[in-house]
Amino acid sequence: MSGYFEIVTPFFILIGGAFAVYLLGRLFGLSNRVEALLTVAVLGATLVVLILHFLTIPEVIENPEVFFGLDDPDGIIYRPSAVGAFILVIGVVIGILITLYSAEDLSRDPRYLVFYPLILLTLAGLLGMFISQNLFNLFLLTELTTVTASALVAFRFKVEVSIRAGFKYLIMSSLGTMTMMLGIYFVYRSTGNMQFIAPLEAVDNFTRIGAACFLVGFSLKAGVVPLHTWVPDVYGHAPSAVSGFMAGVLSKSMLFIMPVVCLRLGISYRELGAFLMVAACFNMLVGSVRMLGQQLMRRFLSFSTIAQTGYLMFVLGMGFYYELDSAYGAGLFLFFVIAVMKCLAFLAAGTYEYYTGTQDIERLRGVAAKIPQAALTFSIALAGLAGIPLLAGFTGKWLIFSAALMTADVFAVVCLIIFIISSVISLGGYLPMIVKQYQGAPAAEILPEAPQGTLQVSPWMLVPAGTLSLLVIIVGVFPSPWINLVSQVMNWMMRSI
């Protein structure tokens, strides 16, 4: 057994932190805000260790003996990767921001005690999925994220639609993990081994069927059309912080774990790339068309998420189909900006709902006059998602456009045309949503406690939203440092293949 315990240190910090936060809350009757600060401390410690892991990736690449676990056909191995470390750092940073936001958002909910441990456990499951090199262990960690995320979706259990959304996510995600379990059976039947440290030396029909099962399972969890039906209900009725984390980080992460498993089990680069590009076209069109006419802000953002998933699939698909490193790098950059913008959009929508009791944009016409901070952050998020120049979303879309033209192939150009059509259709949804916040005078029943002036949003909500807003602007105006960081991750990834 390898003794590199520091590889799994972040995992145990999150697991131990979850139990510690819960026990301390129970024993000492801690308030919601104290619980949130304790959770931020746990996430901060995890972030420090993950950054140290990220900085040592070159050493891990040079020494294949750096792992934790038992290098045996039946053993479990944990090994960090450049892409995994990059995504997990983003995930933990987003986790810190949604935790701070929840310090205010959950102030009216007496069950806050279990919320923060569930956030930590969900992140622990996601972290474990990226570093695990054993199929059955991957299955167990996927189940951990499924169960904890389902509980987060249904957190407001007194609201019937929340319970239904939580059950829907649990059932649909469980179908995905059961499909993965079937894939494990086929792989084990063929190889007698459940490790996927490197591509299989001998690929047969059983291993390819197993790879296809994992492809379907991860597609369901990522919300790939036609396996997307859970997305609007789940993101529309979960707490806003949970929706932002799931839409921006959790579901998109599956698109980066999927290739690691499927390519090593026998699916070729061109097959995986073709699947992602074709499926991306359906996601882009379904998401952009269905978002039009949606009156509830979070349901609108849910369909927007389906389209954004399509954009990410498109650029990743080009990376695999054409073996184009720049396209895969653009996918990593796009994951980062989508995580920031999508989380910001859901937090801003949640701020509206927290103070007004509604997320119906028609009832919120002119609300910017009373809650200007929420209107500004929501506008920045939507403008970024729409791809307005000088914002992060524009840079992400430009990288997709450039990668598609670089291929000089009809297949990519056709998908690019669909991408452009989807972007134009989406613009017809984003712009009216922005304008309605500033159009006319707010209704009398909206914030009657502030009839003449503006409402001061709680700093617990304003700081996370403000931080994300600044990131959207900074990354859009100065994209080079972030693109260089992604290029470094790509260099490390290519050296480890």
Question: Does one domain contain both 55 and 121?
Answer: yes
Helix (H, G, I), strand (E, B) or coil at 14: helix
Per-residue pLDDT, averaged over 89-104, amounts to: 95
Question: Does one domain contain both 438 and 487?
Answer: yes
Q: How is 136-182 classified by DSSP, letter by letter?
A: HHHHHHHHHHHHHHHHHHT-STTSHHHHHHHHHHHHHHHHHHHHHHH
Cα dihedral 439/441/442/444 (nearest 10): -160
Average pLDDT score over the chain: 89
Question: Does one domain contain both 329 and 235?
Answer: no
pLDDT at 448: 58
Question: Does one domain contain both 230 and 314?
Answer: no
Question: Does one domain contain both 15 and 88?
Answer: yes
Tell me if 211 is assigned to some domain: no
Taking 60 as the threshold, does the pLDDT of residue 496 lie above it?
no
Question: Does one domain contain both 131 and 238?
Answer: yes
Smallest Cα–Cα separation from 217: which of 227, 204, 225, 205? 227
pLDDT at 61: 67
> Mean pLDDT lowest for which of 18-22, 71-75, 457-461?
71-75
> Mean pLDDT lowest for which of 17-21, 187-191, 331-335?
187-191
Question: Does one domain contain both 230 and 358?
Answer: no
pLDDT band with cut points at 50, 70 and 90 for residue 449: low
Residues 334/312, Cβ–Cβ less than 8 Å: yes
pTM for the predicted model, two decimal places: 0.94
Helix (H, G, I), strand (E, B) or coil at 68: strand
Tell me if 216 is assigned to some domain: no
Tell me if 387 is assigned to some domain: yes
Structure tokens at 159: 């609201």
Tell me if 138 is assigned to some domain: yes
pLDDT band with cut points at 50, 70 and 90 for residue 392: very high
Tell me if 126 is assigned to some domain: yes
pLDDT digits (tens, 9 = 90+) for 210-269: 999 999 999 999 999 999 999 999 999 999 999 999 999 999 999 999 998 999 888 999
How many CA atoms, within 13 angstroms, populate the side-chain half-sphere of residue 229?
5
Cα dihedral 25/31/37/42 (nearest 10): 10
The number of beta carbons lying within 10 Å of the beta carbon of residue 485 is 15
What are the phi and psi torsion angles at 206 (to 5°)?
A: -65, -45
- Domain of residue 75 covers 1-181+223-251
Q: Is the peptide bond before 239 cis (omega within 30 degrees of 0)?
A: no
Question: Does one domain contain both 234 and 299?
Answer: no
Gyration radius of the chain over CA positions: 22
Taking 60 as the threshold, does the pLDDT of residue 115 lie above it?
yes
Tell me if 264 is assigned to some domain: no
Tell me if 206 is assigned to some domain: no
Residues 278/313, Cβ–Cβ less than 8 Å: no
Query: What's the burial of 133, exposed, middle or buried (CB within 10 Å: 0-12/13-18/19+)?
Result: buried
Taking 80 as the threshold, does the pLDDT of residue 2 lie above it?
no
Question: Does one domain contain both 44 and 155?
Answer: yes
DSSP β-ladder status, 77-78 and 68-69: antiparallel
Helix (H, G, I), strand (E, B) or coil at 157: coil
Q: How many Å apart are CA 405 and CA 416, to the nearest integer?
A: 8
Question: Does one domain contain both 227 and 296?
Answer: no
In the chain, how many domains are there?
A: 2
Residues 372/465, Cβ–Cβ less than 8 Å: no
> Mean pLDDT lowest for which of 204-208, 304-308, 391-395, 489-493?
489-493
pLDDT band with cut points at 50, 70 and 90 for residue 133: confident
Question: Does one domain contain both 238 and 277?
Answer: no
Question: Does one domain contain both 159 and 37?
Answer: yes
Q: How many Å apart are CA 80 and CA 55, to the nearest integer?
A: 11
Tell me if 256 is assigned to some domain: no
